[in-house]
Amino acid sequence: MKKPSTKTSLLETASLTSALAVLSANQPADLGFAACRFASEINEQGVSERVMVMPDGYFKSHDGRPFDVPANAWLLDQAAFELLKSTASTRTNDYHFDYEHQTLHAEENGKPAPASGWFNPADLEYVPGEGLYALNVRWTPSARAHLKNDEYRFISPVFHYDKQTGRPTKLRHFALTNDPAVDGMDKVAVLKTSKTHVNNGDTPMNAAQKLLSLLGVTVDGDNVTDADYTKATTALAALKAKADEADTLTTQLSNANDAVAALKANSPNAEVNLAKYVPVETYNALHTEMVALKSSSATQSVEQEVNKAKQDGRIIASEVEYLTNLGNQQGVAALKAVLDARSPIASLTAQQTTHTPKPENDKDGLAALTAEDKYAADQLGLSHAAFAKAKQEQN
């Protein structure tokens, strides 16, 4: 959409020229303003509260409007409805219907512009393939009388539109009129009043009375009052609720049938693909065997690592038990890391062919330590003298 400017753009008609000129002042250059009149048949016995105010798809007036849209037509679609709904959501006051667009003419002719009906901005409904509807329209007593007497039969909306796409962007208000500009609107739902006869041909009864009687509403004579109409709509609402309940039950039944079918498909009698699944007993037996093999393998690996380190001269005999427990608790990887950090000591692997006698008079006792004793003292963090003394005391 282009950037709004202070220039005006006006769609004029012979009957609304002055009023539209006032309303279109200071409007964005890419927005147009339209007042159209759509046909709606109103019956003398009842007035619908759901009214079509704009047809779906492309539409135009008999006089050729809109002239300022490339497609030469307005367009109501889902995108247009989203725009209308968005602008409606910012509105607090109800939308109103007047008579013959007097709201547009009031400033010019100085006459009052009484409302003929009202509806809430949230009560807009779009039905693809049909059009835009105003819901829960509250007609004034005067307007209801006019509509019942067939003195007004058509609906005319006033709206802004995008001059590039033709999509309506904002609703202003609506009017009852007898001069429609566009054909193709749905008729307003009413209770018919044409005369007919009961099956025996004795008593005249109009179609409205027949319908009301089927709904449990008894009408005296040929007059259908507003109270009768209210009773009828209430009965229809109750019937619709029952129909909706029946649809819900049907859906629940269908879901239940699907669930039963799924359970049946997964029943024990169903054939199992042994290429994808195995019996649980077989799986458990294999799992137990694998755990035992893994444990045995781990134990053997610990022993192998300890024996290898002992042969390489990286550990002494007194460390075997400690390192074996370490491997069993922490795993082979932890044991291997400890052993790999040690360098072999040649004296641990060499054959001891001579033994130096213990000198009884050696005061520091150093000569009494073998290479294996010295290594043990280093591992325990003791000095050689302290280790020799402790060893001598033990002997």
3-state helix, strand and coil shares in percent for the chain, rounded to the nearest 5: 40, 15, 40
Written as six digits, the tokens of 46 are 């009842």
Calculate the dihedral angle through the C-alpha atoms of 350, 354, 359, 360, rounding to the nearest 10 degrees.
100
Instruction: Per-residue pLDDT tens, the chain, 395 aa: give them.
Output: 333 333 333 333 333 433 443 344 445 556 666 666 555 544 444 677 888 899 999 988 888 888 999 999 999 999 999 999 999 999 999 999 999 888 989 888 999 999 999 999 999 999 999 999 999 999 999 998 888 888 888 888 999 999 999 999 999 999 998 876 665 555 444 443 433 333 444 444 555 566 666 666 666 555 556 666 677 777 777 777 888 888 888 888 888 888 877 777 666 655 666 666 767 777 777 777 776 656 655 566 888 888 888 887 888 888 888 888 888 888 878 888 888 887 776 555 554 444 555 555 455 545 567 877 788 878 777 788 888 887 777 76
pLDDT of residue 365: 46
Residue 102 burial by CB count (10 A; 0-12/13-18/19+): exposed, middle or buried?
middle
Written as six digits, the tokens of 151 are 């003195």
Contact 98, 115 (CB under 8 A): yes
Global pTM reads 0.42
Quote the CA–CA distance of 130 and 126 in Å, as a whole number.
8
Q: Which of 36, 226, 208, 218 is nearest to 147 (CA)?
A: 226
Contact 184, 59 (CB under 8 A): yes
Number of helices followed by number of strands (H, E) in the chain: 12, 14
pLDDT of residue 169: 95
